[in-house]
Amino acid sequence: MTEINLTGREIIAKAIEFGASLAGIVNIDELKFSPSHTIYGKMPDYSGVGTVDVEGKEKQGQVQWDNRARSAVVIAVAHPEDEPDLDYWVQGLSGGTRGNAKLISVFSRLAGWVEKEKNIGAIKIPYYVEQGGVFVKDAAVLAGLGCIGRNNILVTPEYGPRVRLRVLFLAADLPSTGIKNYDPCGNCEQFCKKACPMGAMGRTVYTAEKMGQDLLPGRNGTYNRKQCNRQMEKDINNGEDVPVPGTDKTGSEVRFCRQCELACPVGLNDK
Ligand code: SF4
Ligand code: SF4
């Protein structure tokens, strides 16, 4: 693997300076062939929370990205347990959540800096994969931020799974920071699985034979996104109206389940 170069190191340092807790770089050619991007075309159609219907757009076996993109910066912002509202989704709030607003602010400053100081184009990415977005957890693994845990979310050594992620494309062919040799799940009692109110990690849903690859949702094919989605729908239905910050309106505030995140012992010395 090519080593991260000076430009990559400078971009990572700037992202941290602008407010990211962690940052890394992933090359687009590696990202294209990451497990979620290659499995995407083989997964059964799904339309749960976090997806969007795109009229007239057929799934073509691979996600379609802006063709100027040659690499991407991945950032994580820590989301400690004592700041639960960072992730409350408020209808009508710019960015949806306070955490998202923070991620957007880091990238807004970083995009300005790379364009001005490095003469590198910064390309914003749509949120939804169906509209040209990326699987951010895969990008984070390739950028060296952590690994995919048994709870199917990114687990970082520094903050465990308690992070929020975002990706920005760059029009420069930078090498990936590289995968970390890191796996806290191997000898773990699987606190995440025990904590899930929906039993979403309880049985095998995907097999290597059927999917044509060994890396599966929840690592071994036991993460059931439909079960998790049922919980998210419940959470949406339990939303309550609150004043929307910065406006004179009210909107529904949704507190999505984080049980599998909060039960994980990794990184509990969150800063
Ligand atoms: S609780 Fe254990 S198995 Fe689950 S993500 Fe954390 S380290 Fe991995
Ligand atoms: S978010 Fe909640 S429902 Fe979904 S897998 Fe984690 S614990 Fe289970």
Whether residue 198 has its Cβ less than 6 Å from ligand 2: yes
Question: What's the angle, vertex CA 141, arms to CA 73 and CA 259, rounded to 5?
Answer: 110
How many angstroms is it from 114 CA to the middle of ligand 2?
Answer: 37
CA distance 25 to 174: 7
CA distance 157 to 184: 8
Model pLDDT, residue 58 = 46
Phi and psi for 116 in degrees, rounded to 5? -75, -50
Whether residue 69 has its Cβ less than 6 Å from ligand 2: no
Which ligand number lies closest to the CA of residue 264?
1
Model pLDDT, residue 89 = 93
By most ligand atoms within 8 Å of CB, the mutation choice from 205, 219, 229, 260 for ligand 2 is 260
Q: Which residue ranges of the chain lie beneath pLDDT 50?
A: 1-2, 52, 54-60, 270-271
Whether the CB-CB separation of 123 and 116 falls below 8 Å is answered with no
Model pLDDT, residue 33 = 84
Q: Alpha carbon of 103 to those of 54, 109, 226, 260: distances in Å?
A: 25, 10, 27, 22
CA distance 220 to 4: 30
Model pLDDT, residue 9 = 94
Quick: pLDDT tens for 130-175: 778 899 999 999 999 999 998 888 999 999 999 999 999 999 999 9
Instruction: Name the residue at shortest CA distance from atom 5 of ligand 2.
Output: 228
Whether residue 232 has its Cβ less than 6 Å from ligand 2: no
How many angstroms is it from 231 CA to the middle of ligand 2?
Answer: 7
By most ligand atoms within 8 Å of CB, the mutation choice from 219, 224, 231, 234 for ligand 2 is 231
Whether residue 259 has its Cβ less than 6 Å from ligand 2: yes
Torsion of CA 15, 18, 22, 24, to 10 degrees: -10
Phi and psi for 81 in degrees, rounded to 5? -60, -30
Which ligand number lies closest to the CA of residue 156?
1
Question: What's the angle, vertex CA 64, arms to CA 119 and CA 7, rounded to 5?
Answer: 25
Phi and psi for 254 in degrees, rounded to 5? -110, 130
Tokens of 16: 């941290």
Instruction: Name the residue at shortest CA distance from atom 5 of ligand 1.
Output: 149
Tokens of 245: 């910050």
Short-list 167, 168, 139, 171, CA closest to 68: 171
Q: Which is it for the CA torsion 107, 77, 177, 140, positive or negative?
A: negative
pTM of the complete model? 0.85
- Give me the helices (H) in the chain, please: 6-17, 28-32, 35-39, 98-117, 136-142, 191-195, 208-211, 225-237, 259-262
Tokens of 130: 């169906």
**Closest ligand 2 atom to Cα of 263:** 7
Tokens of 24: 């890394």
Short-list 258, 252, 259, CA closest to 238: 252
Model pLDDT, residue 128 = 79
Query: Which residues are 164's β-sheet partners?
Result: 77
Model pLDDT, residue 234 = 95
Model pLDDT, residue 201 = 85
Tokens of 193: 């699985």
DSSP three-state, residue 142: helix
Torsion of CA 209, 210, 214, 218, to 10 degrees: -130
Whether residue 228 has its Cβ less than 6 Å from ligand 2: yes
How many angstroms is it from 257 CA to the middle of ligand 2?
Answer: 6
Q: Which residues line ligand 1 (CB under 6 A)?
A: 149-151, 155, 184-185, 188, 190-192, 263-264, 266
